[in-house]
Each structure stands twice: as C-alpha cells, then as structure tokens.
A and B are shown apart, each in its own frame.
Chain A
Amino acid sequence: MQIEDDEILQGFIEESLEHLADIENDLLEIEEGGENIDEDLVNKVFRAAHSIKGGAGFMGLTVIQDLAHAMENVLGLIRSCKLVPTPEIINVLLQSSDKLNTMIEDVNNSNDYNIEEHVVPLDAIYKGDAAPPVEATATEDISPPIETSEETTPEVEAPPNLETEAAPEPVAEIEPEPEPEPEVVAATPEPVASPPPKPKPAPKPKPTAQAAEKKPAAKVKLDSSIRVHVSLLDSLMTLAGELVLSRNQLLQTIASDDVRNAESVGQRIDLITSELQEAIMLTRMQPIGNVFGKFPRVVRDLSSKLKKEMDLIIVGKDVELDKTIIESINDPLTHLIRNSVDHGVETPADRIAAGKPAKGTVTLKAYHAAGQVVIEITDDGKGLDGDLLASKAIEKDLLTQEQVQGMSTQDKVNLIFLPGFSMAKEVTDVSGRGVGMDVVKTNLDQLGGQVDIISEIGMGTTISIKLPLTLAIIPCQIIMTGGERYAIPQVNLEELLRIPASQVKDRVERVGNAEVVRLRGNLLPLIRLSDVLGIERTYIDTDSLERQDDRRERISDRRGLDTESSSENVATESGSREPEDRRIAAASALNVVVVTNGSIKYGLIVDKLQDSEEIVIKPLGKHLQTCKGYAGATIMGDGRIALILDVTNISIMADLTSMDGSDRAAEVAHAAEEKIKAKKDKQALLTFRSSEAEQFAVPLNQVERIEKIKRSDIEELGGKRVMQYRGGSISLITVDDVAMVQPLADNDDLLVIVFNIASQIIGLLAIGPIDALQINVTIDDVTLNQTGIMGSTIIEGQTTMLVDIHEIVSTLLPEWFEDQEVFEVAEEGGSVPTILIAEDSNFFRTQVCNYMTESGYEVIAGEDGAIAWDLLQEHGDEITMVVTDIEMPNMNGFQLTETIRKDARFKDIPVIALTTLAGEEDVAKGKAVGVDEYHIKLDKEKLMASVHHYVKQNH
C-alpha cells in the first residue's frame, strides 16, 4: 500500500492510538454501569470509533475501517439504549479495540490482517443474535444515519484472507503484545546527550535488563513526539529571548572589560539558565495517568481469568514524572500489579473464610514526597510470610540456614527480590517463572528508584516505589579519591561520616575479611573506593592538603604510632616529608560516605568530601560499558569530567551482598545490641555552638542537613535574615533570637543547620565544631530552662543546652503553626480528651506532657508501666489514648501494651510508643503486641500529628 503523505498518516496514527487508549477505560466504565448507560461516555467511545473509521477510510486503510465500523454499529445500539452492555459484549469490543491498536501500530500492513474473528461476533451482536433485547427492526433504524456521515471509500471491501489462522487474538491481553515489527528505536537519548547531526540515537546510558527491552510498540512510537501546553512553550520562548539579551549584554561587557558589570550579567544568566532548565524539565513531565490508565484493564482481565473479584482504585493520576521514567516504569508496575492480583489477593472463597469481603481491593497510588514521587501498590490480600519466603529460599539453595537465622523479618520479606526466586507453587502463564521481582528491582535501580515492601500476614502487602522526578538532572554528592572526582547520587546517600583519627582504631573493626564501622550501635560494612576501582590508596594529608600514598593494609592499622614496625619501611620510602610524620597522618581521619540502595547499606571510604551539586548525567561510551562501577559521567563546573558511581554495582564488585553484609554484621551486631540494651534511653544529638563559649545540642533526627556558608551569603531583607538555598530562599534564625544566650559569634564561616518544621524548612545559624553523638541523656530541665531551651545536659565534660527548635520557630514565626492551631481548637468542641503518658525519664515526661497540654489535652502521667496501668484502671473511661515509652523499670512499654490489649475494657485504646532507637525488630515486636504507631522522642510534630489523628478517630 502506498500512503502518500507521511505526515498525515503519522497524525492519524497518533490520534487513533490516543482514542484507543481512552476507549479501553471508557468501555470498562460502561461495563460497570451496566444498564444505567452513561450516554456521554458511550457517545465519547462512539465518536472515537467513528473518527478512527473516518480517518482510516480517508487513508484507504480498509481493514481498520471495517473493524471500526463494526464496533461503531454495536456502540450505536448501546447509545440508543437498545442494547445492554453485558461483560460479553464489552469483551468483544475490548478485543476489537486491541486488534485496532495492533493494526494501527503496524499500519502499513494493516490491510493484510484478518479481522473476521472480531467482525463476526460484532455483527452478530449488532444483528441481535447474541444480544437478546435487540429487535430486528432496530437494526435498520440505526444503520443508515451512521453510514451517511462517511464518504468516499466503498463500504464493502474485499474481506481479508480467510486462511485458517491458528493464532487467535490472545483473550486476556496482559503481556505487552508481541510486536509486529522490529523495534527500531530502543532508547530516546536525553536532549543533553544527543550527538549533533546523527540520525542514530546515542547508546543507552546504562545496560538494559532484558525486561526493559520489550517495551510495547505503542510507547516506542509515541516517543517521537510529545504534547506540550502552549503557555509552556510561550514561557520557554520568553526565556530564550531573555537569554539572548543576556548574551548580548555579556558580549558587551567582555568587550568593554567591565568587571563589575560582568558579575551582574553572570548572575542574570545564572538565573535565566535555571529558569530555562526548569521550564524545559516541565515539558518532559507527563502525568503518570498515562501508565496507570491501562491497569484497570489488566486487573479486569486477569481477575476474571483467575476467577477472583477485584477492585482497582487509582489515586494520583495527575502526578507528573519525567517522560523517560514514565516509560520505564511501565513494565515493573505491570509486573507488580499482576503479582498483587495473582499472589496477593486470595480467591473469594478464601477471603470469606478469612473474614474479609469477597471482593479484593488493589490500590495504586502516586504522590509527591520529599522531592520524589512515591508509587504505592497496596492489596488487602494474604500478605507475605517472611518465614515461608526464607524456607523457600533455602529450598532453592539461594541461602543457607545460617544466613536466614540472622535476618530480620524485613530482610526475609526482601528475599522476594532475589534472582531466581518464585513463590508460585506451579508455573502458570500468569506468573511463577521466578524472573519477576528481581527484574522489577533491577529496572527500578536503573531509574534510581527504591522499592520497599511492607507486608502483614493476612492483612495485605504494600509495595512502595520511590522515584526521582527526573533522570536528566540529579543532585549528587561530589567526593574525591585518587585525585579524581566522583559523584554519588543523593538518592543513594544516607549520611556523611568522618571518623576522627583518635577513634579510627576503636570504631573500625574486622569481621571475617571485611571491615566494619560501628555507627550508632549498628555495624556498617566498609568498602574502600580505591580498592574497588583498583587504584592506589591515597589520603589527603591534613597538614599539607596533599595527596599521599597510603600503605596501610587495614583501616584499623595504626602503624604510624608503632614506630618499631614501621622503621624497616621508612628506608624504602622517599618523600619530601618526614616518613614518621606521614605515618601519623596516615592514621588520620577517615571520610566515609554512607550509601544505600534500599536493601543494602555500606560505607564508602573516600579521600575527600566535596560539595553537593546538581549534575547532568551523560552516558559513557561503549568501550567503557564493561566498567560496571559507573552509572555515567558528568561535566563539572571547571570543564573536567567526574564519573558517577553506581552504588549497587560497587557493592557487587566488592563482593558485598545484602545477605553477606547482614551475615557478617550479625555476629558482632548481636554483641553490640546487648550492650545497647544494657544502656537505656540513648539519644542521638547534634552538638554545635552559637557563640564560642556555649555549647548547644539538638536531637539529630530533627536535623535535615548542615550547610557550610559564608557570612556574605546571608541577606537581610525586611528585617529577616534569609539565604538562597536550592533554588529558593530559606529563613535563618539564631538561638539568641529567642533565648537569653550569647549572640552568634562574629565568624566569617558559618554553619546552617537545616530543619524541617511544620513542613517548611528553616535554617539555624551556628558555628562549629559540630559533632553527632549518642549519649545517655540525663537532662536537667530546671536549671537552664527558658524559652527555646528545653534543658541542659553534660556532654564530654561540657554543659550543653538542648535547643527546642519548635519553640524557637513558633515564637519567631507563629504563622507557620496557625494551621495546626486550628486543628487543635476543633478538638475542644466536646469534652477534653485525656491522654495517659508512661515515661520514666523526668525530662521526657515533662516534655511530652507539655506538648500535650499545649495542644489542649488533659494529661495523666505515670513513671513506669506498672503505675500507668494502675492509673489506666483508675481513670479507665476518661482516657482516650496511651503514649508510652518502651524502656521502663517494673513494666516496660511492650508489657504495658500487652496488658492493655488483653483487657476487654481497653483493647481498643490507641497506643503510641515512644522510643529513642526505632529498630526494625522493635517496631515489629511492638506491632505484634498491639502498638498502633511508633514515634521518636522529641519529634514533636509527628507525635502530635498522630495523637490528633487517633484522638479524632476515637472521639
């Protein structure tokens, strides 16, 4: 077939595919409506079929036209209420629209397709054979008006060949369709990465796992064009105009050698560039609904095939993500949805037996959280049984018995991501081949996403996927090793750790043949970046700031102090510095970047930590594809290149697997755990200073980030101090704004401790030295108590004031809390809710009591679990909820909760547990005895939010 005008054809294809995408969901909705026909909806589908028919006729695509025509006939009947859309009829229509889709994608060969299998049943329905309520007369009434609107092409075309085609259209079309044509374009190069005048796409930035390769053809085709709102284009145009103007200005400035002006022009260009970048990113943003849209059909087909009943609830269709991400999450999501339907939700009989409604629910939800997009797939099915998974893994020789023993429940649930793991008892065509979840994980890893599974046996499973908004530009931490810079994506970054020279020996230990560091009671495996990359070990000399070779075998070695053993080596080394000196320096501080890919966490030892920067990812050439340690490269501000590290692959290169890591760590961790248990109520604090003389501390978990700034970065506007921060501005406060302490030191180098309060960020100005430490808090809340200071404690011989950042902010910026105030007042309409608090530490008890009374609750407090229990029995009816500490004398929080839950009078009272260290095991244990929620002490905001939540629920 010859089609003259390619452009018109392309337009037709795109439009038709869009129509078809809509048709599918609309048909499902029509089916749901049954007899109550939504005329608008049917009209919409009718019009869609009609325009496809019209377009196809114009193009001479007779087969497409015929099929669309047959569909239109049936839809016409539904529209005029002469036909009730039964599932059977909808099924036929759905299959026909699938076929249309296939044909339109393969438009050049579409006239050779056999559509008999669809046209015949459609005609049968139309003529009333399959649909009882249709009268024969109705048929005649309807058909002429439909026809008249269409022109030119003769209606009766030679029907396509009637050979005995054995392969019928797959009934439940769940898998991405086998593509009728070879896939031509595999990856769309990012605009920044595309080579200039070459028709071929750039090589893929990353090696693609097999699953990513079978993108549905439609997706690949649609890649070539994208719809952008005109207003966005206009703003892009405006920005481009501004850029040109600024360039002219810049050229002028350069010509006139005007340095002062150059600065302002530079700023302008900086501004425009970032705006332009933002606007261009926006054009790439697509609603996630594009992907979600196909799932109702998937669930419908699959559940009817598996004879299950199921509802799919979709939330957050409008959440936008970068186009490349949207395209690549299609497969993983499909897989996860199918898993939920197949494995997650039980059969109706099983569900009824388990006391659940026969109809299962799968919820697909997308929302923004902390600069990322979270997609959650929740089912209310049977949940994942960690132990069962573990035994299955042992059975399949993926794990040993010993390995399993050291695993937490969460680890066991995560086993599902192991390659070769399948839970299905037998392989069906739906699932069970064991290539599933690990492929999902690999795909998501490549996108820089993270997968988490939360599952409760009998209650259901939630799989949450965190994705970056875009792939093209990502924030990264820059580090230095061996004289080269490397970038580590911020999504993988947990924290930066500097182990001072004096602590290296104590904190770094050897377990088996791996080195681990003790970090807040946990053991963290360490990897030396230079070893993994096979480059010379170096370190930055703290005195000369030069790079030096590092000869130590082990991190914990401190040969430098052991002069005898080093003397024999001294002779062989020649350097400008005294060898002795160098050895001491060699044992200097370790810079550790703590990274994670979700399932495994480790410390990467690097020479030097630098800034965090937003970088543009560029792919590496094909000669470097064998280097698995890199995810790409980026060009830094000075024009040189930095490689981007692939955190997952580095752990593989270092032979560090999740199982191994936890295995090794488990031995020592156990001992460490005992130690921690012995000490109670440890609190992680960040110490800092505001003036040289006074030391302050804040709970570490409240701190978002710490930034180093210069005094000149601070701008004073409208009587407020602000600073530019990540494209916006951030208010800056100091402790002495509120509390009666010495004013901020007059240093040029300042620190900004960034907090997130009332969902806004605020920076607290401070000076060093800062330190994060864990101490046993014995807090004196009397002596130094004042506004903004909640008490004092002694840290390493120095009296330290604990800063109440909430109080400071609420004093300075009361408007931030207005929303919450309203929330609280609403509670006071009825009787005042009473809350029982069990907490042994005076300080925390007073703190928590204060939070509650401030918010207008009545409080009854007990010093330990036993007293609290007595109080509860005494005041039984008044108490709305219980907030308890875990570690307490006489009766601990777990015991208290257990006792409460056993008593018929109190079993429905919400219980919130407060803890300083929310370990997974603890959380699980708490959940098991009936704790409703966990909160970290002193995290006022979250605690109060959940108190409000439960009070509202129970009041």
Chain B
Amino acid sequence: MDNTSTQLNQNLIELSTFLVGDALCGMDILTIQEINKLIDMTSVPQAPSYVLGILNLRGQIITSIDLGKKLGLGETDMSQDPRNIIVNSRGEHIGLMVKQISDVVQADKDKFEPPPSNMGGIQGEFFTGVYKMKNKLIGILDVEKVLKMDEKK
C-alpha cells in the first residue's frame, strides 16, 4: 500500500503554467529559478530578432528571449505586464518573456500524452507532451529544445 503511494508521488510533478500567445504552456516548476517582472532591458543590436535584450539580475547578465516570437506566435506585448521566467539552461540563465503566468498544476507524468504536430500554432517539436486537464490542455515545453535550435543556425 505504502509502496504504491510513493510510486505515485514520484510521478507527480508540479507544472508551472503560463500563456504564450493564446496557448497554455507549462514546464516543470523545478526547472524555473524565478519569475519576475524585469523588463528594463538593454537592447543588443544585431542580436537574433527573438532576443529582447540583456538584463541585470542581481549582478548576472541574462539574455531575455521573447518566447512568443521564438515559438512563432508573434511578439509579446510588453505593455501588458509580461513576466520573465528565469530558467537555467546549460550553465546559463535565460529569461523567457511570456504574456501571462497562470496556475501551478499538479500533474501525473504517466498521464502525459504525446504532443500533436501543432498546438496553438506552435510546432509540436518544442513539446515533450501534453497534459489534459478537465477543461484545458497544457503543452509541456521542452526548454532545452526551445533554446537549442538556433545554435545550428
């Protein structure tokens, strides 16, 4: 009996969800360092178009990326109080600018379903899966994949 419950707990993760464009996306809350409202950025001329700029997070320089633009959903409206999700990718902190932060959802890994080829206008390859809630669908973002793509470019 005990056994099964721990089993269950291991598969339960907390998903932090947020809106990119109109699509509800989520990622494991443990991959997120913090979420803040820093939008006072220094622009970097000649940078890829989806890079909003660089900002100073307690003495560290962080590249901020417009997640909407990166995923092909158009620019995030900076006047609508967007949020910056700071994640850690390959030893580097990166800020992902999203339109709005939503709830934290407990999800069972076993219930993740393979992603469709396209979700809310976002290429399926950026997702590791989807999680179906009662009335909504959360696309689980693969952060590494989102951030990795352009190294090849």
Contacts and interface: CB of A to CB of B under 8 A. Distances in A.
A891 interface: no
Interface string A599-633: 00000000000000000001111111011011001
Nearest to A616: B59
Interface in B87-102: 88, 90-94
A626 to B, nearest CB: 7
A620 B46 contact: no
A195 B92 contact: yes
A624 B51 contact: yes
A870 interface: no
Contacts of A949: none
Given A623-B47, A624-B51, A641 B91 contact: no
A202 B90 CA distance: 8
B2 interface: no
A639 B127 CA distance: 36
B96 to A, nearest CB: 11
A623 B147 CA distance: 8
A192 B56 CA distance: 13
Contact of B63 (A192, A202, A621): A621
B42 A482 contact: no
Interface in B65-102: 65, 88, 90-94
B60 interface: yes
A624 B91 contact: no
B45 A534 contact: yes
A635 interface: yes
A425 interface: no
Contacts of A640: 40, 42, 56
Contact of A618 (B44, B45, B61): B61
A352 interface: no
Contact of A203 (B43, B65, B92): B92
Interface in A663-682: none
A641 B63 CA distance: 11
Interface in A624-659: 624, 626-627, 629-630, 633, 635, 639-643
B110 interface: no
A622 B46 CA distance: 14
B54 interface: yes
A623 B51 contact: yes
Contacts of A693: none
B90 A642 contact: no
B151 interface: yes
Given A203-B92, A641-B55, A195 B60 contact: yes
A621 B61 contact: yes
Nearest to A485: B42
A200 interface: yes
A192 B55 CA distance: 16
Contact of B91 (A192, A195, A484, A618): A195
Contacts of B51: 623-624
A623 B90 contact: no
Interface string A464-497: 0000000000000000001010000000000000
A535 interface: yes
B147 to A, nearest CB: 8
A623 B42 contact: no
Given A618-B61, A621-B54, A195 B47 contact: no
A623 B44 CA distance: 11
B63 A620 contact: yes
A623 B65 contact: yes
A133 interface: no
B54 A198 contact: no
Interface in A193-230: 195, 198, 200-203
A761 interface: no
A934 to B, nearest CB: 43
7 contacts: A195-B88, A621-B54, A623-B65, A627-B46, A627-B47, A641-B61, A642-B42
**4 A-B pairs closest in CB distance:** A621-B63, A533-B45, A200-B91, A641-B42
Given A623-B63, A641-B56, 15 more contacts: A195-B93, A198-B91, A201-B91, A203-B91, A482-B45, A618-B60, A621-B61, A623-B147, A624-B63, A626-B46, A627-B44, A633-B54, A633-B61, A635-B56, A640-B42
